[in-house]
Chains A and B, each alone.
Chain A
Amino acid sequence: RKEVEQDPGPFNVPEGATVAFNCTYSNSASQSFFWYRQDCRKEPKLLMSVYSSGNEDGRFTAQLNRASQYISLLIRDSKLSDSATYLCVPCLGQGGKLIFGQGTELSVKP
Chain B
Amino acid sequence: GAVVSQHPSWVICKSGTSVKIECRSLDFQATTMFWYRQFPKQSLMLMATSNEGSKATYEQGVEKDKFLINHASLTLSTLTVTSAHPEDSSFYICSATTGLYNEQFFGPGTRLTVL
Contacts and interface: CB of A to CB of B under 8 A. Distances in A.
A and B interact physically: yes
A42 B108 contact: yes
B103 A43 contact: no
Interface in B9-67: 32, 34, 42-46, 49, 57
Given A43-B93, A43-B108, A46-B103, A97 B43 contact: no
Contacts of B91: 41
A103 B107 contact: no
Contact of A42 (B49, B101, B102, B109): B109
Contacts of A49: 101, 103
Interface in A70-100: 87, 91, 93, 95-98, 100
B46 A97 contact: yes
Contacts, number: 48
Given A95-B32, A96-B32, A102 B104 contact: no
Nearest to A49: B103
Interface size class of B (residues with CB under 8 A): 20 to 34
A101 interface: yes
A100 B103 contact: no
Contact of B42 (A41, A45, A95, A102): A102
